Structure 1
Amino acid sequence: MDCVEVVRFRYAPRWLQTLVNHGGIVGNLRHHPWKWLLVPGFVLCQYLAARRLVRTRKIDLIHAHWLIPQGLIARRLKKVAAVPYIVTSHGGDLYGLRGALLGSLKQKVAKASSSMTVVSTAMQAEVTKIGLQPPSLAVLPMGVDLRNRFSIDSSVERVENELLFVGRLVAKKGLPALLKAMPAVLRQRPSTVLTIAGFGPEEASLRSLVRSLGIESQVSFRGAMSQEGLPELYRRATVFVAPFVRDSSGNQEGLPVVLMEAIGCGCPVVVGNVPGIQDLLGDAAPEICVDPADTHAFAEAILAALENPKQAQERAYRIRNIAAGSIDWDVIADGYARVIQQCLLSTARDLS
């Protein structure tokens, strides 16, 4: 990556370094409790690697992604090396990781930061609700490359009756709700197919659900896809379906990158109605946001998009035009540049 140096650290024998693989830390711990044994090494080795960089390089500022554990590591480094930090929450750490102890740790991380960012306005409200008090708080989604990669290609024609899901196969993505809606969709449009691009700990149970519903011939699991391969999927699909839900632990999406990518490619979307999505969809949200737990309503929303492709496409272009001003990489880069500059200026004033 241009101007980015990636420094990796080892926290276990190579064959055991699976804590963050195949669906993320929370999903791994839920499905494989023995992996809790990897957590102390993961946190300690990450801290030692970061401390070594702070001591051997001229580090002006740390940007920690996730309140826990990276925020805790940044807070400790501020104490031992006097390096300020920004912390970004992506959703899972804010909405999930509940309990008095974890809540207290999140409060300490936020308070000791120079600034905190979240990826949606709904998360901004959640920060206040759970008592986090950072010195400043900004809403900055991760953004996507709308100019070069996730863009509209008028030479590619959308196919008919193809639904697309992209994402990790974990509970908060809500894929079981989409699968349960498929029989109702197929009764009205028997030629509809669903392409699933992604992997994760829920894959076996999802495949089992597909078999029990009798829709194996209409559902294709594509596995993990490279960033280079995703635009083709977004550009050809009739509808991108993102059935986001709040899972049993309280975890939910902040502002999903895959939804931004689909919008960037001008793909019509139907979305699970979780807080934060409205930031992207604007006044189109009521038309395409639905509770995936309501199988009938969810199927009806999907069918409406399939049966009115011209209207769905026009709406998709309208959403893209609005969203471009807030999620394009250049816009996000400028936003983070301002946050970083303010933090460095504030640190300099404190030291003077």
Structure 2
Amino acid sequence: MNPGGNRKPRVLVLASTYPRWRDDPEPGFVHELSRRLSAEFDVTVLCPHAAGAAPRETMDGVRVLRYRYAPAGLETLVNDGGIVTNLKRHPWKWLLVPGFVLGLLWQAWRTRRRLRPGVVHAHWLLPQGLVAALLGTPFLVTSHGADLFALQAAPLQALKRLVVRRATAVTVVSQAMRAELHRVGATDDKIRVQSMGVDLRQRFTPDPAQARSADEILFVGRLVEKKGLRHLIDALPAILAAHPQAFLSIAGFGPEERERRQQAARLGLQDRVRFLGAVPQPQLPALYRRAAVLAAPFVATGDGDREGLGLVLVEALGCGCPVVTTALPTAREIFGNAPAPDCVTPGSVAALAAGVGRILAAPEQARLRAMALRDRLLPRFDWDATAAAYARTLRAITGAHA
């Protein structure tokens, strides 16, 4: 029994990207999983502090501790693009990395001594997985994509091998990541493929009463290179040639925003491209329900970074919104054997314009295809199924080391 009579097994979650406050537009999948696990586990999340966030709070039944790693005005390593993107675009931020890692290690060690968790769940191989490997507590590490595909320097690869060797179990969010995980030394007996989830039962649902636009192309995501927004804006003139009333709505924020605004202006598209800025999760379903098509033109970057899975596609399809994306392995995993027009060549402006154009030209067929895909995705990606799978893995780890 845990001290104080709490019979729930204790889980310490280590994360970098985490909501700074309620309805934060930053990705919230770690919190969504943690709050669902809190029904069965006593969950404490340790994540980095950011300006405006509480140092500690309880959010939806999850105890959240935020550690300091720099003066308040410099705690900018994580948000507005993610760690990998921020380091690429602002090399001076490498100066923040030692404090970020040492702060995490020190606070994780203190929290582990105080809480005595039965298992640690580290999100991302580096640095959270490395810290978990040094704590000595049995741990599950989950890779989300950038930590596995990018960070290819030899010393970082060596650290990844250390993490997967010491991990009790390793999960990746798509089958396409399994081969890359093998390259850093993970064995099949440790690997589990388990995505994060999407609320397909209550939030991301169709609304038959909502009229769907015939002209609105929607982009949702961080404004970073691997999301491929540059290619979508380049494709817009060709789309407009066939569909003169079309326009693009961009829901998201990130380090590329200024460049993408300049690109739209250079192409004379100021009146056809709308930058909506950061959109909180509760407001996204309304965008998906009204758009003619969601365009998710994912690409692989020069350093190997690419989308781990692309749950934005699942969110859109959950709302019955047709989607067009690129034929990267992770996107094909969602589509399965869906018709070819929905997956186009990555980085090809012409192919992207043609794919979007086909959906705009045949909206009813695209809508029916989206609804059929929704039915197939429900048992795989709804949070009820994904949280239950993670709970089984964590129970197995705590049971084996009880």
Counterpart of 1:50, as a letter, is A
**Residue number among 291, 294, 309 corresponding to 1:255 in the alignment:** 309
What's the Cα RMSD here? 1.2
How far the C-alpha of 1:11 sits from its partner, in A, is 0.7
Decide whether the 8 Å contact of 1:114 with 1:134 is kept in 2: no
**Residue number among 352, 358, 362 corresponding to 1:298 in the alignment:** 352
Distance 1:285 1:125 in 2: 26
Decide whether the 8 Å contact of 1:96 with 1:249 is kept in 2: yes
Aligned position for 2:71: 13
SS in structure 2 opposite 1:277?
helix
- Verify: 1:25 aligned to 2:91, yes or no: no
Distance 1:253 1:100 in 2: 22
How far the C-alpha of 1:318 sits from its partner, in A, is 0.8
Aligned position for 2:277: 223
Decide whether the 8 Å contact of 1:264 with 1:320 is kept in 2: yes
How far the C-alpha of 1:134 sits from its partner, in A, is 6.8
How far the C-alpha of 1:126 sits from its partner, in A, is 2.0
Q: Deviations over 1:141-172 (max 9, x none)?
A: 11111111111111111111100000000010
**Residue number among 290, 293, 298 corresponding to 1:239 in the alignment:** 293
Q: Deviations over 1:53-79 (max 9, x none)?
A: 10111311100000011100100111x
How far the C-alpha of 1:279 sits from its partner, in A, is 2.2
Aligned position for 1:94: 148
Identical residues among aligned pairs (%): 48
Distance 1:328 1:224 in 2: 24
SS in structure 1 opposite 2:281?
coil
**Residue number among 99, 103, 109 corresponding to 1:51 in the alignment:** 109
SS in structure 2 opposite 1:149?
coil
Counterpart of 1:190, as a letter, is P
* Match runs of 1:194-343 below 5 Å: 194-284=248-338, 286-343=340-397
Counterpart of 1:231, as a letter, is P
Distance 2:189 2:164 in 1: 8
Decide whether the 8 Å contact of 1:110 with 1:134 is kept in 2: no
Distance 1:49 1:105 in 2: 20
SS in structure 2 opposite 1:228?
helix
How far the C-alpha of 1:278 sits from its partner, in A, is 2.2
Aligned position for 1:42: 100
**Residue number among 107, 110, 121 corresponding to 2:164 in the alignment:** 110
Question: How does the TM-score come out when normalised to structure 2?
Answer: 0.83
Counterpart of 2:122, as a letter, is A
* Match runs of 1:149-168 below 5 Å: 149-168=203-222
Pick which of 189-198 and 271-280 moved more. Answer: 271-280
Once superposed, which parts of structure 1, at least 4 consecutive aligned residues long, lie more than 6 Å away?
none
Counterpart of 1:161, as a letter, is D
Counterpart of 2:336, as a letter, is G
Tell me which protein shows more strand as a share of its residues.
Answer: 2
How far the C-alpha of 1:99 sits from its partner, in A, is 2.1
Distance 2:314 2:180 in 1: 22
How far the C-alpha of 1:130 sits from its partner, in A, is 4.0
Aligned position for 1:64: 122
Give the number of aligned pairs: 344
**Residue number among 174, 184, 188 corresponding to 2:228 in the alignment:** 174
- Verify: 1:73 aligned to 2:127, yes or no: no
Counterpart of 1:99, as a letter, is A
Pick which of 288-297 and 316-325 moved more. Answer: 288-297
Q: Deviations over 1:206-247 (max 9, x none)?
A: 111111111111000111010111110011000000000001
Decide whether the 8 Å contact of 1:177 with 1:292 is kept in 2: no
How far the C-alpha of 1:173 sits from its partner, in A, is 0.3
The 3 A distance-change label for structure 1 pair 108 and 285 is farther
